[in-house]
Every structure is written in structure tokens, then in C-alpha cells.
Amino acid sequence: MKRYLVGGAVRDERLGLPIRERDWVVVGATPEEMGAAGYLPVGKDFPVFLHPQTKEEHALARTERKTAPGYRGFSFHTGPEVTLEDDLIRRDLTINAIARDDDGRLVDPYGGQRDLDARLLRHVSEAFCEDPVRILRVARFHARFASLGFRVAEQTLTLMRQMVDSGEVDHLVPERVWQETRKGLMTDSPGTYFRTLHECGALARIMPELAALHGVPQRADYHPEVDTLVHVLMCVDTSAALQLPLEVRYAVLVHDLGKGATPQQEWPSHRMHDMRGVPLVETFSARLRVPSACRDLALVHTKEHLIIHQALQLKPSTLLGLLERMGGFAKGERFEQVLQASVCDARGRLGFEESPYEQADYLRAARVAANEIQAAQVMADGISGAAIGEALKERRTRRLKDWKAQQQAVRQPDSM
């Protein structure tokens, strides 16, 4: 019985990156021998054990055989006769098929070190095309390692396109698509995840609402990048540069889906794309089973992002309504997250990457001013029942009117 450190731990160690987790393959052992050595069985589909001290996962070396479409359609075989090379050849990418024994010796039968040096994401064998999840994983690794200069090998892209054309990608289940997409969104270059899926054709199959933005023009005076998909992915990359949370990154990803539904005769204008986008965000989120926190923020931002950009021109009553819908008077982070998403939308444009976004501080200050008026003050004046809400709205509107007048006075140049 011999064990080998495999996968991401070996890869990241060779790249000089922090090791997130350590997985092991055990060769020459049976489940009974693992149990006798004190390992705890945890695997459901094939024998996986936890080390009695470190609790790190140790899987018996295995071979796989494709038995049905999709990523679940495999049968597995383990046994003392299965070699390390047999196990490694079934892995997705060569950079993930390097092993290291307890003495520090590397086992690299498929050129993983060479591809690490070449910054290449390359499939190990033709078995790659049997598992559609590998399309998502390649896109995610591309996004994760884009800053290091990695690219997808052309032969691997060809296999990915063949998997799309053959319908293999259509067997992906929503939970797995979201699991990989969530990880892709949280990389330093999330736009690369979606660009890679688009390049191989998978984006149109699993996220058609997003793929529909490709080639849809926008007004060049507002959007010098013109193409709507280019803009959206620039926005997503901006959210990563600002190190924003998953909820904001998702809201940014889907905020312009409505532009894909604009009639072509109206191009490059996209009036009402905010309202057109709402049902598309709902459908997109439901199909991928996106967490409610991501979906709800995305819906608010999709509905409100146009009026947020116009915040400085809003009259007091309209401004108050916007603050309410953004969650400005409720507990939680919703208000600030909507503003963060709006900043990404404004900066995700060619030539505007570092531009200031005055609307954010303006709305924050308006929120503070409106919050000076509380329901307790209204009730202290003897107002009760349903009249409290109306009185509160009226007083907050008057406060915002005074506040706006003060803001305008500050902005006016000295006439003397």
C-alpha cells in the first residue's frame, strides 16, 4: 500500500500558490486494509477514506467506464491491481494529473509539469469528453489562472466544442452548473470563465440569456466597447477587482439581460431594458437554482440601475421611492450592495474603468438625510395607524427637498 498526494495540492505547490486542500490516492490497497489501518470510510460512489489523524481524504486508485450520458454516467473499479497511472489518466487536465509520494518524488506520466511551465490547460486523454462538467472546470481554471498567463490548448477547445455539438453538455444538472459558476465568479478574472464557455459554444446552451447579448450593439457614446456581452463581462471583472461578494458579482452578471430582448429595429438604443430584464433574471436564476440572496439583489439592481444612474436629477419624492426600493430604510447590506453593483456597471465600459461615480455618495448622503425622520417622531405627534406611513413619507420628502436645496447651493459657483 502506497499513497500519493495528487491534484490541486501538487499543482498549486508547483505554481507557488497557497494549498487549499490536500487529496491523496492510495495504490495497492483494499477497503478492508484501509479500515484495518484506521482510515474512516466516507465515500458513497467509490471508496474514499479519511486519515485517522489529519482527516484528509484518501481515495483508492480507480478506473472509470462511461455507461450513460452526463457526469453521473460512470461505473468505477478499484482494486490493488489499479496503478497510479491508471488513476491519473482519467483526470481532466494534465496540470491536475501530477502526483507526489511521501518522499517528495513526482510522478508525472502525462506532461503536467511541462504544461505548467507553458501555462497551458490541456486535457489528459480522450476520456475528457465523457464528462460535461469538465467544460465548466476548464473555464473555471482558465479564470482562476488567467492572471498567470494560462490559456486553453486548442486541441482541448476542439474537444469542448465537440461535446457541445454532440449534446453531452445538455446533460449538465443545474446544481453543478451553479457550483462551478459560483466558483468562477469568485476568481480574480470571472469574465474569463464566461468568455471560455462562449468560445466553445457552451454558454448558449447553459446560459442562453447571457449568450444572447453577444453581438448586440449599444450606443457608442455611452458604451465605446459597443458589444453588450463585452460590457457585461467588463462589469463582472470590475466587481472582482473591487473584491465584492458573490451576491454583487451575480447581480452585475445579469443586470443587462434585457438588452438581449430589445427588438433589432431599436438598436443601438435599449429603452425599457431594465423592465425587459426582470423576467429574464427570474428565469435565469430559477433554472440554475441560484441562492435567493443572489437572485433578490439581482432583481433589485436590474429594476433600478437606470434610475440610480440618474440619481442627481431626481425630484425629492422620486428619490425617496428609490431609496425605499434599494433597502435604504431596512437593516442589512442590500442598499450598499446595489450601489456597488451600480459602480461596476458604470466602470465596466471601455475608457471608464477608473471613472468616479458621484451617484453612490449622493445616494448615501440622501439616505442619511431621509433617515433623520423616524416613525417614532411621527407617532410622538399623535399620528397613528395607517396615517403613520403617509406622514413619514411626506416628512422625509420635505427633508430631502431641503437637503437637495443645500446640495445645489454647495454646487453653485460663487456669483460674486
Q: Are 261 and 280 in contact (CB under 8 A)?
A: yes
Instruction: Tell which residue, 147, 94, 148, has the closest CA to residue 121.
Output: 94
Q: Is there a contact between 34 and 47 (Cβ–Cβ < 8 Å)?
A: yes
Most confident of 5-9, 70-74, 195-199: 195-199
Confidence label for 416 from pLDDT (cuts 50, 70 and 90): very low
Cα distances from 363 to residues 228, 235, 343, 372, 383, in angstroms, run: 27, 21, 12, 14, 29
Is residue 412 over pLDDT 70? no
pLDDT band at 69 (very low <50, low <70, confident <90, very high): low
Q: How far is CA 349 from CA 223, 227, 240, 362, in A?
A: 6, 10, 15, 21
Say which residue the cell 473555471 belongs to: 140
Sign of CA dihedral 278, 282, 283, 288: positive
Q: Which is more confident, 378 or 217?
A: 217
pLDDT band at 400 (very low <50, low <70, confident <90, very high): very high
| pLDDT average, residue stretch 144-163 | 97
Distance CA 193, CA 178 (A): 13
DSSP 57: E
Q: How far apart are CA 311 and CA 358, in angstroms?
A: 9
The percent of residues above 70 in pLDDT, for the chain, comes to 95
Amino acid identity, residue 63?
Answer: T
* Nearest-angstrom CA–CA distance, 253 and 341: 9
Phi-psi category of residue 246: left, alpha or beta, with phi > 0 → left and psi -120 to 50 → alpha: alpha
Strand ranges (E), 224-289: none
The residue with cell 456581452 is 229
pLDDT of 68 reads 67
Confirm if 4 and 101 have CB atoms less than 8 A apart: yes
Q: What is the mean pLDDT of residues 202-212?
A: 98
Separation of CA 50 from chain center: 31
4, β-bridge pairs: 25, 101
The pLDDT tens digits for 170-195 are 999 999 999 999 999 999 999 999 99
Contact 274, 258 (CB under 8 A): yes
Residue 153: exposure state from Cβ atoms within 10 A (0-12, 13-18, ≥19):
middle
Least confident of 14-23, 65-74, 352-361, 372-381: 65-74
Range of weakest confidence among 38-47, 322-331, 360-369 = 38-47
Structural domain boundaries in the chain: 1-111, 372-411
Chain segment 34-61, per-residue pLDDT in tens: 999 999 998 776 789 999 999 999 999 9
More confident residue, 382 or 76: 382
Average pLDDT over residues 3-13: 95
> What confidence score (pLDDT) does residue 415 get?
42
CATH code for 1-111?
3.30.460.10
Q: How would you classify the pairing of strands 48-50 and 40-41?
A: antiparallel
A 10 A CB-CB count for 331 gives 7
- Spatial distance between the Cα atoms of 326 and 64, rounded to a whole number of angstroms: 51
Query: Burial level of 208, CB count in 10 A (0-12/13-18/19+)?
Result: middle
Going by the DSSP 8-state scheme, the letter that residue 257 receives in this structure is G
